[in-house]
Amino acid sequence: MEYTIVVAEMADSPATLQYLAPYTGAALAEYFMYRERHTLIIYDDLSKQAQAYRQMSLLLRRPPGREAYPGDVFYLHSRLLERAAKLNSLLGEGSMTALPIVETQSGDVSAYIPTNVISITDGQIFLSADLFNAGIRPAINVGISVSRVGSAAQIKAMKQVAGKSKLELAQFAELQAFAQFASGLDKTSQNQLARGRRLRELLKQSQANPLPVEEQIATIYTGTRGYLDSLEIEQVNKFLDELRKHLKDTKPQFQEIISSSKKFTEQAEILLKEAIQEQLERFSLQ
């Protein structure tokens, strides 16, 4: 917390102070940005600020619009979020990254405030209460979550391996919902459901447990290429933990290739396939 500033207004604070709190935080972040520092500001959450602004506007007898919000609520948030910037060399190259949080009612992402903020930002991560209650952490709804700049930050190897995983997970979610009402599924659909469950399992991650990008690539490749299909779901994470250790101990060239070339080369794929086959054989003997 030594480099963290918290600007807080409680739920029982006046609406005017709740409305002003995000602007206070933005001003503090800008102070450091213009002093050649890199800052991250998290707005938790802009739904509450919009509600405070709606309360103020209604008390001032301003004409209400959609969901009783005033007509300039979009301008309210765009003006706030567009203060985030990366300065050029003449201004010191400081930066301010904004991470707005918006609450949805019953998971309705099409409500007024969520759609406003989505249209302003460079993407969104949609957290699902249903996934959270099902034990999936982080509880990210892959079908709705979008990044307009994320691919620019990925190395080529990750794009090569994980390119189709989002589509597969989205199709799995649709098929899973359909399967609840269907009396019988063909073999292809059953295989797709089994693959999707294992992909979802490998994406589970414990708190404060980041993986190097080389290990992420190996993990995703193992799932998307069907090597986990023969395992029980309860065995997936144990197998992947042992695979990552085995790959690191016996095939250090794999990590060297990925880290140096940033590409998933043919040689890297051969090394990874060998490690997976070896681990499958070892795992079957346990």
Kindly report the CATH number assigned to the domain that includes residue 9.
Answer: 3.40.50.300
Same domain? 163 vs 251:
yes
Do 243 and 279 contact (CB within 8 A), yes or no?
Answer: yes
Q: pTM of the prediction?
A: 0.82
Same domain? 72 vs 7:
yes
Residue 136 lies in a domain: no
Can you tell me whether residue 214 is helix, strand or coil? Answer: helix
Residue 210 lies in a domain: yes
Same domain? 158 vs 113:
no
- pLDDT digit of tens for each residue in the chain (286 aa)? 889 999 999 999 999 999 999 999 999 999 999 999 999 999 999 999 999 999 999 999 999 999 999 999 999 999 999 999 999 999 999 999 999 999 998 888 999 999 999 999 989 999 998 889 988 888 988 888 988 887 788 899 999 998 888 888 888 888 887 877 766 778 888 888 989 999 999 998 888 888 999 999 999 999 999 999 999 999 999 999 999 999 999 999 999 999 999 999 999 999 999 999 999 998 887 7
For residues 12, 13, 14, 15, the Cα torsion angle rounded to the nearest 10 degrees is: -90
Q: Which of 66, 79, 148, 282 is catalytic?
A: 148
The predicted structure's pLDDT at residue 183: 65
Q: How far is CA 53 from the centre of its chain?
A: 29
Do 29 and 63 contact (CB within 8 A), yes or no?
Answer: no
Nearest partner of 144 among 104, 193, 190, judged by Cα: 104
The predicted structure's pLDDT at residue 23: 97
Domain extent, residue 159, equals 154-286
Same domain? 230 vs 163:
yes
Backbone angles phi, psi at 159, to 5 degrees: -65, -40
Do 250 and 278 contact (CB within 8 A), yes or no?
Answer: yes
Q: What is the spatial distance between Cα 46 and Cα 113, in angstroms, rounded to a whole number?
A: 8
Do 46 and 101 contact (CB within 8 A), yes or no?
Answer: yes
Same domain? 184 vs 115:
no
* Catalytic residue flag (residue 137): no
The predicted structure's pLDDT at residue 208: 84
| Cα angle value 154/162/236 (rounded, 5°) | 125
Residue 73 lies in a domain: yes
